[in-house]
Amino acid sequence: MSKKDNKKINTDYIEVIRWMDAQSDDGWSDDRTAELANVVTVGFIVAEDKKAVCVASTYAGDDTNSRMHIPKCWIKSRKKINIEELEKDNSPLYPFIETKEENENRN
């Protein structure tokens, strides 16, 4: 992403996006099947418009990394997950999630 806007990334939520992608292979083959790849992407929503959504797996301050730009017409489903609710519910992910306070105290 070359353009930086001043929109704050909402780090209270992550999204699980299930979508279809092109698939390729190489080498000699007599296989004539047409297949697409079922893909699952998880991350923070960095940007979104009518055509696409940009998801980042990593954020630090105002910077993001590992961004995936997914055309909306390829998306099959989206699920928004509140990170704070995961902490409250003592979900299996809880040991791997730091609160904002824990993160600030660690630094």
pLDDT at 61: 80
Q: Please provide the average confidence, as pLDDT, over all residues in the chain.
A: 81
- As a whole number of angstroms, the distance between CA 97 and CA 69 comes to 25
Between CA 80 and CA 102 the distance in angstroms is: 23
Partners of residue 14 on adjacent β-strands: 81
**What is d(CA 46, CA 63) in angstroms, rounded to the nearest whole number?**
10
Q: What is the DSSP letter of 61?
A: T
Predicted confidence (pLDDT) per residue in 6-49, tens digit: 577 888 899 999 999 998 888 888 888 888 999 999 999 999 99
- Amino acid code (one letter) for 70: I
Higher-confidence position of 77 and 9: 77
% residues pLDDT > 90 (the chain): 41
Angle at 11 between CA 44 and CA 39, to 5 degrees: 20
Say what the pTM is. Answer: 0.72
Task: Calculate mean pLDDT across residues 58-77.
Answer: 91
Angle subtended at Cα 72 by Cα 50 and Cα 79, rounded to the nearest 5 degrees: 110
Confidence of residue 63 (pLDDT cuts 50, 70, 90): confident
